[in-house]
């Protein structure tokens, strides 16, 4: 994508007394030349005299989100103080739906057969951009993954983009989709199965971003975030071992010990860990391990996540792990049964969408890495990976202040996710995502580039 840089003055004098730390459109900023042209305008039904300059869109988004910020801060605080686990996000569902209704949207509640999903959409014709909002928490440690900030930034991004569409009278459609149960429940996988992204050809981009600690993305101190956040594939499943109970002291020879099967399985996978690639992960726990020592356990259950950077490699690794599990069952004369959970596919990074986001954050004077520059960084998985294999997708990362050694899934990260600084980062990210949405809707080149990146095999 050809990008030229020029300098343009933007009037920010009528700024609405925004939060001191929040990014403002600079008085004099390097303006990224848009690929939006009058040709594009006529194709999209926008007459050339009213062709909206990107600066105008940026200004609308900035002022609208500053205007809504007290409400958005309160919304964020409420979600953060009421953490709910996968598929139980009833408070978050109702709070989001009510926020949108008060802003004048018609909200489809309990969407796609999921109690805690919702959907709202505005616009007509043109292309469609979908903001994905996560809001589930982790058992016992609250919003230690910061999904309250995801909900806030996706909501704000949606509202900013919608306002621009309305004020500038632009074509296109913008949707917000509530995507519950990212933490292990595969909410987006169920939404995909229920048709929430159908027809996929109709969706020009699905957009969201995740809060991170600085060291998770390996940036310098002034780094705002990362665009091409590549997360790895994850097979998730439970395995049950069934044996035969017996008095553990009286006549143990009559028993078949299902806990022995689980222990042997755990040990075998631990040994296998020495012969896998450094960028792969396998971790399991024993969820049911027996009742009392003097009864030979006849039933045990383990929960496993097997992860690798690509779907193909993840399938291969799963095969090797299953060999360990089945060998453990055979060695202990127990039977084995798998309970499958949704697989999280690897998260694909769409170069065009990532570069557009980087450019838009630069217009806010925020430095965003296009790609990671260091090896061996934080690894994780997301069900947005599955969306990224279905439609062109953007899943960026924005930094929130944390203690030096604290990353996601740590109770201290939950505290960071509740701070004003975390909120400001989420809103700044929302401004970039709103512009990403607007440019995807308006610019043929951006939409076509995103589609081409999506269709290019990167496995």
In whole angstroms, how close is the CB of 383 to Zn ion at the nearest point?
10
Indicate whether 232 belongs to the interface with Zn ion (CB under 5 A). Answer: no
Q: Find the binding residues for Zn ion in span 350-389 (CB under 5 A).
A: none
**Assigned token pair, 112:** 């796609």
**Nearest one of 210, 204, 196, 110 to 161, comparing CA atoms:** 204
Residue closest to Zn ion when measured from CB atoms: 145
> Which C-beta is closer to Zn ion: that of 51 or that of 381?
381
Q: For residues 319 and 399, is the Cβ–Cβ distance under 8 A?
A: no
CA 219 – CA 226 distance, rounded (Å): 8
Q: Which stretch binds Zn ion (CB under 5 A): 138-146, 188-196, 232-240, 438-446?
A: 138-146
Indicate whether 212 belongs to the interface with Zn ion (CB under 5 A). Answer: no
Q: Facing residues of 397 across strands? A: 210, 226
Helix (H, G, I), strand (E, B) or coil at 369: strand
Q: For residues 225 and 396, is the Cβ–Cβ distance under 8 A?
A: yes
> Which C-beta is closer to Zn ion: that of 145 or that of 208?
145
Q: Find the binding residues for Zn ion in span 320-349 (CB under 5 A).
A: none
Indicate whether 406 belongs to the interface with Zn ion (CB under 5 A). Answer: no
In whole angstroms, how close is the CB of 408 to Zn ion at the nearest point?
5
> Which C-beta is closer to Zn ion: that of 145 or that of 437?
145
Fill in the per-residue mask, 93 to 132: x = in contact with Zn ion (CB under 5 A), - = not in contact. ----------------------------------------
Indicate whether 400 belongs to the interface with Zn ion (CB under 5 A). Answer: no
> Which C-beta is closer to Zn ion: that of 34 or that of 381?
381
In whole angstroms, how close is the CB of 180 to Zn ion at the nearest point?
12
> Which C-beta is closer to Zn ion: that of 165 or that of 208?
208
Pure H helices in 82-208: 90-102, 147-167, 187-193
CB atoms within 10 A of CB 256: 19
Residue of 114, 145, 181, 425 that binds Zn ion (CB under 5 A): 145
Helices (H) then strands (E): counts for the chain: 13, 14
> Which C-beta is closer to Zn ion: that of 328 or that of 397?
397
Identify whether 199 is preceded by a cis peptide bond (ω within 30 of 0): yes
- In sequence order, the 6+-apart residues with CB closer than 8 A to the CB of 158 are 120, 131, 133, 174, 175, 176, 434, 437
Q: How many residues bind Zn ion (CB under 5 A)?
A: 1
In whole angstroms, how close is the CB of 188 to Zn ion at the nearest point?
12
Indicate whether 149 belongs to the interface with Zn ion (CB under 5 A). Answer: no
Instruction: Give me the DSSP letters along 15-39.
Output: -----TTS----SEEEEEPP---HH
In whole angstroms, how close is the CB of 92 to Zn ion at the nearest point?
14
Q: For residues 297 and 243, is the Cβ–Cβ distance under 8 A?
A: yes
Indicate whether 429 belongs to the interface with Zn ion (CB under 5 A). Answer: no
Bridge pairing between strands 128-133 and 172-178: parallel
Chain residues in the site for Zn ion (CB under 5 A): 145
């Amino acid at each position: 994508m050809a990008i030229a840089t020029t300098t343009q003055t933007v009037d920010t004098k009528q700024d609405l007394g925004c939060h001191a730390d929040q990014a403002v459109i600079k008085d004099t900023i390097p303006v990224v030349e848009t690929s939006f042209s009058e040709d594009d305008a006529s194709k999209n039904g926008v007459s050339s005299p009213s062709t909206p300059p990107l600066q105008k869109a940026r200004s609308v988004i900035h002022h609208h989100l500053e205007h809504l910020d007290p409400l958005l801060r309160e919304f964020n605080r409420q979600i953060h103080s009421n953490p709910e686990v996968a598929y139980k996000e009833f408070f978050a569902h109702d709070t989001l739906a009510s926020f949108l209704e008060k802003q004048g949207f018609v909200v489809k509640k309990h969407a796609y057969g999921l109690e805690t999903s919702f959907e709202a959409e505005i616009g007509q014709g043109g292309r469609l951009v979908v903001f994905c909002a996560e809001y589930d928490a982790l058992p016992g440690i609250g919003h230690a993954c910061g999904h309250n900030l995801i909900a806030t930034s996706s909501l704000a991004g949606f509202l900013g983009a919608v306002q621009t569409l309305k004020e500038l009278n632009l074509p296109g459609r913008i949707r917000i989709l509530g995507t519950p149960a990212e933490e292990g429940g595969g909410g987006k996988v169920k939404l995909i199965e229920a048709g929430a992204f159908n027809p996929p050809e109709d969706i020009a981009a699905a957009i969201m971003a995740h809060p991170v600690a600085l060291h998770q993305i390996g940036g310098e101190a002034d780094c705002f975030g990362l665009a091409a956040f590549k997360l790895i594939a994850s097979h998730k499943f439970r395995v049950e071992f069934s044996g035969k109970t017996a008095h553990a002291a009286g006549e143990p020879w009559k028993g078949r010990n299902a806990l022995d099967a689980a222990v042997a399985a755990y040990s075998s996978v631990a040994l296998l860990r020495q012969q896998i690639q450094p960028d792969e992960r396998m971790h399991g726990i024993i969820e049911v391990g027996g009742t009392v020592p003097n009864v030979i356990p006849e039933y045990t259950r383990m929960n496993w996540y097997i992860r690798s950077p690509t779907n193909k490699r993840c399938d291969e690794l799963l095969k090797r792990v299953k060999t360990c599990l089945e060998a453990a069952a055979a060695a202990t004369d127990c039977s084995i049964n798998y309970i499958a959970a949704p697989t999280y596919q690897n998260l694909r990074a769409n170069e065009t969408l990532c570069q557009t986001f980087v450019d838009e954050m630069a217009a806010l004077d925020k430095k965003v890495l296009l790609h990671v520059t260091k090896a061996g960084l934080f690894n994780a998985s997301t069900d947005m990976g599955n969306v990224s294999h279905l439609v062109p997708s953007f899943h960026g990362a924005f930094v929130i202040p944390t203690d030096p050694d604290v990353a996601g899934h740590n109770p201290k990260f939950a505290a960071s996710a509740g701070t004003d600084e975390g909120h400001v980062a989420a809103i700044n990210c929302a401004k970039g995502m709103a512009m990403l949405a607007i440019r995807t809707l308006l610019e043929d080149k951006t939409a076509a580039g995103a589609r081409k990146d999506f269709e290019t095999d990167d496995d």
